[in-house]
């Protein structure tokens, strides 16, 4: 008897494609996404932290440090903006332009090597008279600044060993009551050789051996400053409100648009279309309803964020309204497409669960996109989640003006229009039999 | 002065679904203020024809006009009301909200809409349940609301597609009264059913459909006269042990359905001939009934099958 029950269950599952997909395909899809994000696809796809490097010192030591930073595999260090095709090479970043770039989200961190750094680059312990390297960072990516600081220590060790050795000998000299003239001469000679070897290695372009050993702090003086969220009371709330909000918006839009399928299944759609309502009018009505519902949902979420988590909603109202309208329109059209492409409510529920969870994982609703490898970040751009989160981040995090939302709004509204037109085309199946 | 167009003209309508011909060249005229019954078994093509009239089906050939306007035109839609076989309602809305929505879909607004809703609630005897959600109504109430939603705009031609499916006899009677009330107001009604007693009670004319065709058309009396002339129907129930009743009945111009032989006789005394023949051939007869032929008899006579087969 148990065998009959088991066999019946498997037979039913085999014929229920939606349940079948949810049972087998969705877990595999999710496993693959998370495995890829966490670096399971090999070191080559490990995310590199972008950092803008400004060398105000211009000394041989600071230049060596810059070269070391550029060679560091876990960093994507750049000293100037990318050169666009047919455009002249842009000037190198200054402290001001690098800070502006971090504020705009070009990179999560900038590293400024100050004037005078080369004269006294490293010290053991607290040291004295050192010019600190400044790391300007965007705390919406809390990992990046820590990675840059850690890698800076490593690069100093691998790129400036002569400076370290010189500093070490200085301490030794003080601690032992002074070196003999002969010892000083030998020391200077060896440090000079070490310096020559490093210069030669740099010129040959050989990267320092990767060393994932322990960092130890204090080699270089570092001053870290959050240039984006320093005045924010709740730095990541807007990010989470947008990320989680969009994911649930997609579910709501899908369920709301699914009423079209329920109406088709019960015959109400036939009755409506036999009245004075055209299919275009009906779809436009459903779309408007879904858009308004999504707007209400997002507004409620952000109001909650403002009331409970001190989200600065009312000082960013214009940007919020623009992003909410664009996002709601896009997710509503996505819901309409799902409803018209599906043959039954059950099928729609299965497809939408699969798609929405996948989009949310790739688009940054579950895992911030800055943690993802470059390839996955690019894939994420095919989701509404990524564009919506980027837009809300510009509004609430970077305090950017409303017109800076043009790319996000254009993508969301444009793709919304395209999806709606496809949905209208697919809805022809209900117009006549 | 030109005569006003008739409510419904169906001209050589053909509709196929793949290899299946659902409607195979039907032509019909329906006169004003009449009730035409479409009577036939499941799969006869009744609902397809109704949906074609409602403009919801693209015909393979032929045409349909509603008060002189092509079906599916805006003018035809305004004159037409349709209560589909399915409960085409919003289950989470109340009776009043459903009527309001479907009234607005038909272009009603303001006072006209409120008046129409009130009329529909009274017509469907749902005034006291006006604010109950559909899912909390009984099956009969839902059926009545389904009909009301189809006529909220007070059309001159109403299509009722098997409105009594799944309701108990009491609720069915209430639906009959609703249809009769509509007719008294001068509404033209097309009523599909596979219950001959409904067609007999409600319809002036009956089109008997089978395999996508109208195989007979007329009043009940005309149909009976066409099929039986002055003959009566004899129902002869055979014992369950009788094996060859069908062949025996066929040899005497009759048919057998569910162990009951149907024969047409001119005189009641012809029953004795049938009984004698059965006794002579060794067929045990349990009981015999003489009755005036009805639509069921007509359908059986025309197709050799029962209406509910």
CB contact under 8 A, A275 and B57: no
The pLDDT of residue B27 is above 80: yes
The CATH number, out of the four listed (3.40.50.300, 3.40.50.150, 3.30.470.10, 3.40.50.620), of the domain defined by the range B8-224: 3.40.50.300
Contact A275, B105 (CB under 8 A): yes
Residues A185 and A239 in one domain: no
Residues A307 and A186 in one domain: no
Q: Where are the alpha helices (DSSP H) in A235-373?
A: 237-257, 259-266, 268-274, 279-309, 317-341, 345-363
Q: Which domain holds residue A148?
A: 47-226
Question: Is A3 part of a structural domain of the chain?
Answer: no
What angle separates helix A142-159 from helix A161-176, to the nearest 10 degrees?
70
Name the domain boundary from A182, A197, A226. A226
Average pLDDT, chain B: 89
Question: Is A20 part of a structural domain of the chain?
Answer: no
Residues A275 and A140 in one domain: no
Please, what's the b/e burial string for A125-159 (b: 16 or more CB within 10 A of its CB; e: otherwise)?
eeeeebbebbbbbbbbbbebbebbbebbbbbbbbb
Q: Please give the full DSSP string across A116-163, using - where no structure is assigned.
A: TGGGS---STT-SSPPPEEEEE-TTSHHHHHHHHHHHHHHHHHH-HHH
The pLDDT of residue B244 is above 50: yes
Question: Is A381 part of a structural domain of the chain?
Answer: yes
pLDDT value at residue A234 = 60
Q: Please name the member of B51, B85, B106 whose beta carbon is closest to the beta carbon of A275.
A: B106
Q: Please name the member of A267, A277, A433 whose beta carbon is closest to the beta carbon of B88.
A: A267
Residues A272 and A136 in one domain: no
Q: Please name the member of A267, A275, A433 whose beta carbon is closest to the beta carbon of B84.
A: A267
The pLDDT of residue B34 is above 90: yes
Residues A250 and A209 in one domain: no
pLDDT value at residue A208 = 47
Listed as ranges, residues in chain A with pLDDT below 50 are: 42-45, 207-217
Q: What's the structural domain count of chain A?
A: 2
Question: Is A9 part of a structural domain of the chain?
Answer: no
Residues A135 and A245 in one domain: no
- State if pTM tops 0.80: no
β-pair type (B35-39, B205-210): parallel
Residues A243 and A335 in one domain: yes
What is the enclosing helix (H) or strand (E) of A189? Answer: helix A181-204
Residues A335 and A362 in one domain: yes
Tell whether A277 is within 8 A of chain B (Cβ): yes
**Which residues of chain B form CATH 3.30.70?**
232-292
Instruction: Residue A76: give its domain's CATH number.
Output: 3.40.1710
Q: Please give the full DSSP string across B227-278, using - where no structure is assigned.
A: HHTT-EEEEEEEPTT---HHHHHHHTT-EEETTEEEEEESSTTHHHHHHHHH
Fold for domain B232-292? Alpha-Beta Plaits (3.30.70)
Residues A167 and A84 in one domain: yes
What's the average model confidence in pLDDT over B189-212? 90
CB contact under 8 A, B90 and A277: no
Question: The tokens of A420 are what?
Answer: 């709606």
Best residue in B23, B76, B84 for a mutation probing chain A (most A CBs within 10 Å): B84
Nearest to A107 by CA among A433, A398, A430: A398
pLDDT value at residue A217 = 44
pLDDT value at residue A216 = 35
Residues A210 and A265 in one domain: no
**Of B1 and B146, more confident:** B146
Q: Number of residue pairs across A and B with CB atoms under 8 Å?
A: 54
B interface with A, Cβ–Cβ < 8 A, is: 17, 51, 54-58, 74, 77-78, 80, 82, 84-91, 102, 105-107, 149-150, 153
């Amino acid at each position: 008897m148990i065998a009959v029950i088991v066999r019946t269950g498997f037979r039913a599952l085999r014929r229920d494609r939606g349940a079948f997909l949810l049972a087998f395909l969705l877990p595999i899809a999710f496993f693959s996404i998370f495995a890829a994000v966490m670096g399971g696809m090999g070191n080559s796809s490990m995310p590199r932290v972008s950092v803008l490097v400004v060398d105000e010192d211009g000394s041989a030591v600071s230049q060596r440090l810059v070269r070391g930073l550029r060679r560091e595999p876990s960093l994507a260090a750049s000293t100037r903006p990318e050169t666009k095709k047919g455009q002249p090479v842009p000037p190198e970043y200054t402290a001001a332009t690098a800070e502006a770039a971090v504020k705009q989200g070009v990179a999560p961190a900038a590293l400024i090597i100050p004037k005078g750094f080369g004269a006294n680059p490293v010290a053991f312990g607290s040291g004295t008279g050192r010019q600190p390297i400044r790391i300007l960072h965007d705390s919406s990516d809390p990992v990046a600044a820590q990675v840059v600081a850690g890698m800076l220590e490593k690069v100093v060790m691998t790129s400036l060993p002569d400076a370290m050795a010189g500093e070490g000998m200085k301490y030794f000299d003080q601690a032992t009551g002074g070196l003999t003239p002969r010892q000083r001469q030998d020391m200077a000679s060896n440090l000079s050789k070490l310096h020559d070897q490093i210069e030669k290695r740099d010129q040959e372009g050989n990267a320092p051996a990767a060393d994932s050993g322990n960092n130890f702090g204090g080699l270089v003086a570092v001053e870290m400053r959050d240039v984006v969220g320093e005045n924010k009371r709740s730095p990541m709330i807007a990010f989470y409100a947008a990320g989680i909000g969009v994911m649930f918006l997609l579910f709501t839009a899908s369920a709301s648009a699914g009423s079209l399928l329920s109406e088709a299944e019960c015959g109400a759609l036939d009755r409506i279309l036999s009245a004075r309502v055209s299919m275009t009018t009906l779809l436009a009505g459903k779309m408007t309803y879904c858009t308004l519902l999504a707007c209400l949902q997002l507004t409620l979420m952000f109001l909650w964020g403002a009331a409970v988590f001190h989200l600065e909603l009312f000082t960013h109202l214009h940007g919020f309204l623009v992003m909410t309208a664009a996002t709601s329109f896009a997710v509503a059209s996505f819901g309409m497409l799902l409803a018209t492409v599906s043959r039954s409510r059950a099928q729609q529920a299965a497809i939408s669960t699969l798609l929405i969870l996948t989009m949310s994982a790739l688009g940054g609703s579950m895992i911030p996109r800055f943690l993802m490898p470059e390839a996955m970040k690019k894939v994420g751009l095919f989701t509404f989640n990524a564009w919506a989160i980027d837009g809300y981040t510009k509004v609430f995090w970077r305090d950017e003006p409303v017109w800076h939302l043009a790319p996000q709004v254009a993508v969301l509204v444009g793709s919304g229009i395209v999806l709606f037109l496809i949905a209208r085309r697919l809805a022809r199946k209900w117009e006549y039999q | 002065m030109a005569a006003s167009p008739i409510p419904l003209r169906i001209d050589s309508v053909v509709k196929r679904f793949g290899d299946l011909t659902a409607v195979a060249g039907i032509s019909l005229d329906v006169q004003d203020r009449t009730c035409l019954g479409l009577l036939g078994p499941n799969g006869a093509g009744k609902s397809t024809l109704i949906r074609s009239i409602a403009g919801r089906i693209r015909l393979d050939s032929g045409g349909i006009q509603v008060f002189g306007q092509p079906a599916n035109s805006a003018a035809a839609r305004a004159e037409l009301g349709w209560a589909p076989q399915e409960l085409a309602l919003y289950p989470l809305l109340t009776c009043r909200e459903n009527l309001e929505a479907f009234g607005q879909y038909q272009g009603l607004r303001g006072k006209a809409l409120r008046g129409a809703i009130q009329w529909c609630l009274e017509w469907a005897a749902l005034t006291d349940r006006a604010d109950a959600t559909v899912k909390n109504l009984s099956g009969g109430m839902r059926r009545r609301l389904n009909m009301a939603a189809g006529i909220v705009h007070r059309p001159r031609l109403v299509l009722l597609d098997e409105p009594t499916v799944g309701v108990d006899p009491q609720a069915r009677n209430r639906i009959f009264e609703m249809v009769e009330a509509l007719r008294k107001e001068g509404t033209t009604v097309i009523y599909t059913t596979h219950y001959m007693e409904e067609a007999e009670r409600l319809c002036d004319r009956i089109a008997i459909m089978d395999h996508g065709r109208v195989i007979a058309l007329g009043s009940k009396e005309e149909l009976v006269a066409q099929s039986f002339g002055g003959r009566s129907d004899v129902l002869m129930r055979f014992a369950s042990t009788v094996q060859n009743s069908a062949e025996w009945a066929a040899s005497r111009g009759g048919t057998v359905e569910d162990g009951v032989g149907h024969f047409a006789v001119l005189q009641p005394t012809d029953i004795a001939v049938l009984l004698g023949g059965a006794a002579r051939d060794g067929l045990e007869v349990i009981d015999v009934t003489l009755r005036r032929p009805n639509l069921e008899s007509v359908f059986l006579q025309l197709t050799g099958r029962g209406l509910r087969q």
